Amino acid sequence: MTDKRNRMTTAAGVPVGDNQNSLTAGPRGPVLMQDYQLMEKMAHFNRERVPERVVHAKGAGAYGTFKVTGDISRYTRAKIFSKVGKTCEIFVRFSTVAGELGSADTARDPRGFAVKFYTEEGNWDMVGNNTPVFFVRDPLKFSDFIHSQKRDPRTGMRDNTMQWDFWSLSPESLHQVTTLFSDRGIPATLRHMNGYSSHTYSLWNEAGERYWVKWHFKTMQGIKCLTSDEATRIAGEDLDHHRRDLFTAIEKGEFPKWRAMVQIMPEKDAETYAINPFDLTKVWPHKDYPLIEVGVMELNRNPENYFAEVEQAAFEPGNLPPGMGASPDKMLQARLLSYPDAHRYRIGVNYAALPVNKPRCPVHHYHRDGQTRFDGNFGRAPNYQPNSFGGPVEDARYKEPPLKISGDADRYDHRAGNDDYTQAGNLYRLMNADQKAQLIGNLVDALKPVPREIQVRQIHHFYQADPAYGEGVARGLGIDINRVKAA
C-alpha cells in the first residue's frame, strides 16, 4: 500500500502499477509498444546527459556564506560591500580544466574557482582559477591552447608533445607553466588551495570614480599539495578524491573558509604602471599593490542533487552588479561572451532561471519563450519596451561611469616587446630548494616523451627566466645547456 506522498507515477502524474515487469504478450515476450512507462523510462534515460563543458567538465560544488570584514565602500557602490558585517549566500564550483566528466581529480591541472554571490542587486560571479595568471593573453589563442591540452585528433589520447609544442611556441605561457609544474600544481584538496580572479576587473563608487581590482581568495586551511607520485596513486584509488573530500568535510561540519582580498589600482595608474595591468599572464606584485582583506567566505551546505545544482550551475564573468565592472583585459572581454554562450548551448537559453542560477532578488526583463521555459514566462506582462502598461524601465542611477578608450583598430602583436620571463623567474626564485627540485623533477618527467627540438626550445624559455632553472631542466633531460644557448 502506498499513500499519495510516495506513490510512483509517470512524468504526467499517472500512478504506476508495476515498475518491475514490462508489458509483454505472454511471459516470454515480445514487449508491447503500449508499455508507455517502459518507453518513457528508456527515452528519458537516453536524454539524461547534457553536453559536458568543453573545459572545466569535472567539478564539485557547495553553498555557503560570504561575510564582509573590511570596508571598501569608498571604492565601490556595490550594495554587498556597503557595510562591514553584511552577509550574502554564495555557491562555489571548483573544477579541473582539461579532464572530462569522469576524469581523475588529482590531475596536474589548474583548478577552476568559481563563486556566485547572490547579492541583493543581482548575481556577482567571480569566475577564477587557483592560479593568479593564465597560459595565453589573447583570446584568439584560447581554443588552440585548449586543443593542445586535450586529445590528439588521430589517437584520441592526451599527448605531451602537443602540450609542449604549443607552450614552447607561446612564451607568454611560461609564468603559468611554472606555476602548474610547481609544488602547488596539484592541490591536496579543494579546501587547501587559493583562488584568484586572475583577470583585472573594476570597481566604481558613488562619485563615478573607477579603480582596477584583482581578487584573491586565500585558503584559511593552509596550502597543502600533492606530489606527482601521491597524485598518481590516489588517481588509481579514487577518481573523485577532491569531490569526496569537500562533500565529506561539509557533511561533518568542517566548513572550509577563504579570506577574500583585493589589490586596488586607481584608474589613472594603469596608464603609467610598468606592467600592463590587463595582461592575464602577469600578477601585480604585492609590494606595488598590497592585499586588502574584504571578507571571509565559508562553505557550509552540500547540494541536494548533483546534476541540478553542480552540473547546471552556470557562472559568467559578466555578472557584475552596479559598482563592479569588467576591464580591457582581452581574455576577459572574450570570456564575457563565451561563458553565457556555452551555457545557452549546454543547458539552454533559460539557464539563468534554473534554481541554482536564479538571482535571489527580483528579476524583470523582456526575454521571453525559448526552450525549457519552465516558469510562468512573465505571464501577461508586456514583452516589449517602451510600453504603456507598467513594464520594467531602466534606471540611470545604475549606469557605469564612462571609460575612456582610444587607439587605431589593428591586430597588435601581443608578443612584441612583452617580458614573459621576469615574473616566471621571480616565482622560481621565491621557491626553496625542495620546491625548485620538485618543479624541475615534474618538468623533466613531462618533457621526457617530447621530441628533442621541442625540449630545447622550451628549456630556452626556462633559461631566460633564470639560468639555474634552465640548467636544472636541461640536466634532468641530459641536454648540454650550451646547445640550448646556441639555439
State the binding site: 339
Q: Does 183 contact ligand NDP by CB under 6 A? A: yes
Please, what is the Cα angle at 28 between 26 and 33, to 5 degrees? Answer: 65
Nearest partner of 267 among 318, 321, 202, judged by Cα: 202
Looking up cell 599572464, which residue turns up?
281
Under 8 Å between Cβ of 234 and 241: yes
**For 192, which DSSP code?**
G
Q: Which is nearer to ligand NDP, 132 or 348 (CB)?
A: 132
Instruction: Identify the helix (H) or strand (E) that includes residue 66.
Output: strand 59-68
d(CA 449, CA 55): 25
Q: Using the rule CB under 6 A, which residue among 435, 441, 445, 476 binds ligand NDP?
A: 435
Tell which one of 15, 29, 266, 285 touches ligand NDP (CB under 6 A): 285
Rounded to a whole number of angstroms, the minimum distance from the CB of residue 312 to ligand NDP is 32
432 is known as an active-site residue: no
The binding site for heme comprises 339
Task: Give the shortest CB-131-to-ligand NDP separation in angstroms.
Answer: 7
Restricted to residues 199-218, the positions that interact with ligand NDP (CB under 6 A) are 218
> Applying CB under 6 A, which part among 138-146, 179-187, 408-416, 479-487 lies near ligand NDP?
179-187
Among 79, 93, 141, 184, binds ligand NDP (CB under 6 A): 184
CB 150 within 8 A of CB 124: no
C-beta of 170 vs 182, nearer to ligand NDP: 182
- Shortest gap between Cβ of 427 and ligand NDP (angstroms)? 3
Kindly list the distances between the CA atom of residue 217 and the CA atoms of 105, 106, 430, in Å, as whole numbers in the listed order.
Answer: 21, 21, 20
Report the residue from 179, 312, 338, 357 that binds ligand NDP according to the rule CB under 6 A: 179
Exposed / middle / buried, residue 304 (Cβ in 10 Å: 0-12, 13-18, 19+):
exposed
How far from 458 is each of 144, 151, 389, 481, CA to CA, in Å?
A: 18, 21, 65, 12
Q: How far is the CB of 227 from ligand NDP (least distance, A)?
A: 13
Task: Give the active site residue among 56, 242, 343, 461.
Answer: 56
CB atoms within 10 A of CB 329: 22
Please give the Cα distance from 157 to 72 (Å, whole number).
Answer: 48
The CB density around residue 121, as the number of other CB atoms within 10 Å, is 16
Instruction: Tell me whether residue 377 or residue 422 sits nearer to ligand NDP (CB atom).
Output: 422
CB of 446 to ligand NDP, least distance (A): 17
Q: Which stretch binds ligand NDP (CB under 6 A): 42-50, 182-190, 313-321, 336-344?
A: 182-190
Residues 6+ apart with CB under 8 A from 156: none
- Ramachandran angles phi, psi of 67, nearest 5°: -125, 130
Q: Considering beta carbons, is residue 359 or 441 the nearer one to ligand NDP?
A: 441
Q: Which of 286, 365, 483, 485 binds ligand NDP (CB under 6 A)?
A: 286
Minimum distance from residue 422 beta carbon to ligand NDP (Å): 8
CA-wise closest residue to 473 among 440, 430, 439, 434: 440
Of the candidate spans 232-240, 278-286, 301-309, 343-351, the one that interacts with ligand NDP by CB under 6 A turns out to be 278-286
E strand map for 321-458:
324-325
Per annotation, catalytic residue among 6, 44, 46, 129: 129
Query: In the annotation, is 147 catalytic?
Result: no
Report 413-432 residues binding ligand NDP (CB under 6 A): 423, 426-427, 430-431
- Closer by beta carbon to ligand NDP, 203 or else 239: 203
First to last CA, the chain: 81
Q: Which residues bind ligand NDP (CB under 6 A)?
A: 132, 179, 182-184, 194, 218, 223, 283-286, 423, 426-427, 430-431, 435
Give me the active site residues, please: 56, 129
